[in-house]
Structure 1
Amino acid sequence: MRAIELFAGAGGLGIGVSRAGFNPEAVIEWDDYCCDTIRENQARKLDPIVHWPLFHGDVRDFDFRSVRGDVDLVSGGPPCQPFSLGGKHRGPLDDRDMFPQAIRAVRELKPKSFIFENVKGLTRASFANYLEYIRLRLTYPELVERRAEAWEDHLARLERHHTRGKHNGLHYHIVMRTLNAADYGIPQRRERVFLVGFRADLGIKWNFPDKTHDQDALLWSQWRTGEYWERHKVAKRHRPEGGKGKARAFALKEPPRLAPWRTVRDAISDLPDPEKNPDAAAAFHNHRFQPGARSYPGHTGSPLDEPAKTLKAGDHGVPGGENMLLRPDGSVRYFTVRESARLQTFPDEFLFHGSWTETMRQLGNAVPVDLAYIVASSVKTHLDLTATPAKNKP
Structure 2
Amino acid sequence: MERTSVELFAGGGGLVQASAKTGFRHLLLNESAKRACETLEGNHFDTFPEGTAPDVLAKWLDGLDEQRERGSWVADAGERPLYPPLVTGDVRRLDMTFLRERKVDLLAGGPPCQPFSLGGVAKGDEDARNMFPEMFRAVREIRPKAVICENVRGLLRPSFKPYFDYIQRELTLPFVRRRYGATWQEHDRALRERIEAKDTDPAETYKVTQHEVNAADYGVPQIRNRVILLAFRADLGVDSDLVERAVAHTHSRAALTRTILGGSYWRRHKEKGAKIPQRVIDLVTSRYENEQLTFESGDDELEPWLTLRDAVLGLPKIDTRMLDKTTEQQGVPDHIGWPGARIYHGHTPNELDRPAKTVKAGVHGVPGGESVMQLDNLVVDEETGQRRPEHRYMTVRETARVMTFADGWSMAGPRGERMRQLGNAVPVKLGEIFTSAVAKALDDAERRS
TM-score (ref. length: structure 2): 0.81
AA aligned opposite 1:6:
L
Aligned twin of 2:107: 74
What are the Cα deviations for residues 275-296 of structure 1, in whole angstroms up to 9, with x where unaligned? Answer: 4375671411101011122122
- Within a 5 Å distance, the mapping from 1:17-56 to structure 2 comes to 17-42=19-44, 51-56=83-88
AA aligned opposite 1:87:
G
Aligned twin of 1:292: 340
CA distance in 1, matches of 2:115, 2:280: 44
Aligned twin of 1:316: 364
Aligned twin of 2:268: 231
SS at match of 1:314: coil
Change (3 A) 1:318 1:166: same
AA aligned opposite 2:278:
K
- Within a 5 Å distance, the mapping from 1:196-215 to structure 2 comes to 196-206=230-240, 207-208=243-244, 209-215=247-253
Change (3 A) 1:379 1:241: closer
- Within a 5 Å distance, the mapping from 1:1-394 to structure 2 comes to 1-42=3-44, 51-67=83-99, 68-168=101-201, 170-206=204-240, 207-208=243-244, 209-223=247-261, 225-233=262-270, 234-239=276-281, 240-243=283-286, 245-249=288-292, 256-276=300-320, 281-319=329-367, 321-328=369-376, 329-389=388-448
Contact conserved, 1:83 with 1:90, CA < 8 A, in 2? yes
Contact conserved, 2:308 with 2:355, CA < 8 A, in 1? yes
CA distance in 1, matches of 2:297, 2:172: 44
CA distance in 1, matches of 2:392, 2:98: 48
Give the share of equivalent positions with the same residue, in percent: 42
SS at match of 1:388: helix
Contact conserved, 1:299 with 1:320, CA < 8 A, in 2? yes
What are the Cα deviations for residues 217-241 of structure 1, in whole angstroms up to 9, with x where unaligned? Answer: 1111111x11112222334333215
Contact conserved, 1:320 with 1:334, CA < 8 A, in 2? no
Contact conserved, 2:45 with 2:83, CA < 8 A, in 1? no
TM-score (ref. length: structure 1): 0.92
Contact conserved, 1:300 with 1:321, CA < 8 A, in 2? yes
Change (3 A) 1:11 1:252: closer
* Alignment RMSD: 2.4
AA aligned opposite 2:6:
I
AA aligned opposite 2:97:
R
Contact conserved, 1:172 with 1:197, CA < 8 A, in 2? yes
AA aligned opposite 2:220:
I
Change (3 A) 1:138 1:227: same
Gaps of 5+ in 2: 47-72, 74-80, 271-275, 377-387
- C-alpha displacement of 1:267: 0.8
SS at match of 1:188: coil
CA distance in 2, matches of 1:129, 1:370: 30
What are the Cα deviations for residues 320-341 of structure 1, in whole angstroms up to 9, with x where unaligned? Answer: 5112112355432211100000
AA aligned opposite 1:218:
L
Q: How many residues align?
A: 386
CA distance in 1, matches of 2:248, 2:260: 24
Change (3 A) 1:203 1:320: same
- C-alpha displacement of 1:301: 1.9
AA aligned opposite 1:387:
E
CA distance in 2, matches of 1:51, 1:345: 24
- C-alpha displacement of 1:249: 4.2
Contact conserved, 1:281 with 1:288, CA < 8 A, in 2? yes
- 4+ runs deviating over 4 angstroms: 248-255, 277-280
AA aligned opposite 2:111:
P
Change (3 A) 1:280 1:200: closer
Change (3 A) 1:164 1:2: same
Q: Once structures 1 and 2 are overlaid, which stretch shifts more, 380-389 or 107-116?
A: 380-389
SS at match of 2:332: coil
Flag the structure with larger Rg: 2
Contact conserved, 2:45 with 2:84, CA < 8 A, in 1? no
Gaps of 5+ in 1: none
Change (3 A) 1:363 1:204: same
AA aligned opposite 1:367:
V
What are the Cα deviations for residues 1-29 of structure 1, in whole angstroms up to 9, with x where unaligned? Answer: 12111100011011101211111111111
AA aligned opposite 2:397:
R
SS at match of 1:210: coil
Change (3 A) 1:59 1:260: same
AA aligned opposite 1:35:
C
CA distance in 2, matches of 1:297, 1:274: 25
AA aligned opposite 2:400:
A
